[in-house]
Amino acid sequence: MQTELIADYSEALRRDESLDQAQAFCAKFQDALRECIRHRFSVEEAFGIIWVETLDEVPLLPEEQASVYEKMIQWAKSCATTELFCTTR
């Protein structure tokens, strides 16, 4: 039974290889951070927690993590508060 679940999961991963994991991660991360800001959390409070939660949902290779982490930090720093509240990317 467990073997079937692992095989199903592996097959699902192969079907989704056409998606760019880094882009999917960034989109999900940005949406989640905006939502936290709407609930009056600061970027500093939410960034790390959102990073870990998003990484659980959209796994990245270590080298992808390093690149994306830097991009998300720069994005958060460069965004005006009003841009973080936007619902569009």
Q: Where do the domains of the chain lie?
A: 20-84
Ramachandran bin of 40, using left for φ above 0, alpha for ψ from -120 to 50, beta for the remaining angles: left
Per the prediction, the chain carries an average pLDDT of 78
pLDDT at 1 (0 to 100): 39
pLDDT class of 64 with cuts at 50, 70, 90: very high
Q: What is the pTM of this model?
A: 0.69
Say if residues 25 and 68 touch (Cβ distance below 8 Å). yes
39 has a pLDDT exceeding 60: yes
Does 14 score more than 90 pLDDT? no
Task: Kindly indicate the confidence band of residue 79, based on its pLDDT and cuts at 50, 70 and 90.
Answer: confident
User: By the 8 A CB rule, do 56 and 43 touch?
Assistant: no
CA separation for the pair 28, 50 (Å, rounded): 9
